[in-house]
Amino acid sequence: MDDNKKRIKPYGDTLNDGKVQMSFTLPLQAGPEASEAGKMLAEQMGLEEVDVVDIKDLGEGFCYLILYGKVKYSVDRSQVRITRVEMETMSYYEVNDFIRNKIGRKVVVVGACTGSDAHTVGLDAIMNMKGYAGEYGLERYPEIETYNLGSQVPNEVLIKKAIKVDADAILVSQVVTQKGAHVTNLTELVEMIEAEGLRERFILVVGGPRISHELALEIGFDAGFGRGTIPPEVASYIVQKINEREGDSNGSYDQIEDGSK
């Protein structure tokens, strides 16, 4: 790979010029002092040629600043590593066929926005019949039985429901992330499930705009899906994971045994 393409910087006016936009709030009244303080902070963060292009008074001694600057650092894109969910993404029809042919029963999924989170947009995008981005939600899949519990659901209520309906998978949507609230809440859910000896019973999936697969694994979930995820991706993961756990008598498990003889 050409070194100019291998090492990358932010792009502003010209390729790799390093120009970035930064914004933050300061506990100062809007004015020259606040502008200079913002500039000094940006320079300490490594920005060069810093300009404060806008400043707004937020009242009560606070202001909001927007700055432009340049970074001297670059990233070797060949060294970028991302932990991704490993699966084959199937279509709506392929998922239903997969369930009928390989699992042989309906798949049961329970979902909720837990804790104090009242934002159901992401959860509904995956579960609601209307779906998202032109793709049907899980409620539309004839081979999937869904229970959407909505928002602000306590972890213990979600677990109780999953046990009652004999769920295969639990979906959790988390949008509220202030002070790491999502990490605390998700960790608590996993710990509660483990304390009941139920961890192997459920496939745990979490989604949200600030969720990554790597974070999900660290917390103890099976998979994490971020911004832009569509329903077939979640459905594909769940059914393949179920098949992996239960075994496919006509597929890969037989092939492994044959190969070992």
Share above pLDDT 90 across residues of the chain, in percent, rounded to a whole number:
79
Helix (H) or strand (E) run with residue 4 in it: helix 3-6
Give the pTM: 0.77
Q: Are strands 62-71 and 75-76 parallel, antiparallel or unpaired?
A: unpaired
Residue 87 lies in a domain: no
Whether residue 13 is found in the same domain as residue 133: no
Whether residue 98 is found in the same domain as residue 170: yes
* CATH code: domain of residue 175: 3.40.50.280
Domain of 209, in residue numbers: 92-246
Domain count, the chain: 2
Which of 10-14, 59-63, 233-237 reaches the highest mean pLDDT? 233-237
Mean pLDDT in residue range 171-199: 93
What is the per-residue pLDDT for 261?
A: 28
Asked if pLDDT for residue 1 goes beyond 60, the answer is no
What is the per-residue pLDDT for 109?
A: 98
pLDDT digits (tens, 9 = 90+) for 73-118: 999 998 888 888 989 999 999 999 999 999 999 999 999 999 998 9
User: Structure tokens of 180?
Assistant: 């790491």
Give Cα 95 to chain centroid, integer Å.
22
3-state secondary structure of 117: coil
Asked if pLDDT for residue 258 goes beyond 50, the answer is no
Residue 259 lies in a domain: no
Q: Are strands 223-225 and 19-26 parallel, antiparallel or unpaired?
A: unpaired
Whether residue 103 is found in the same domain as residue 209: yes
Report the phi/psi class of residue 96: left, alpha or beta, with left for phi > 0 and alpha for psi in -120 to 50: alpha
> How far apart are alpha carbons 96 and 211 in whole angstroms?
27
Residue 82 lies in a domain: no
Whether residue 47 is found in the same domain as residue 133: no
Known catalytic residues are 130
- CA pseudo-torsion sign 110, 180, 64, 50: negative
Instruction: Out of 77, 105, 120, pick the residue that ends a domain.
Output: 77
Mean pLDDT in residue range 45-51: 95
Q: Which residue pairs, CB below 8 angstroms and at least 24 apart, start in 31-40?
A: 31/55, 31/63, 34/63, 34/65, 35/65, 38/65, 38/67, 39/67
Residue 251 lies in a domain: no
Mean pLDDT in residue range 130-154: 97
Which of 3-12, 172-181, 244-253 reaches the highest mean pLDDT? 172-181
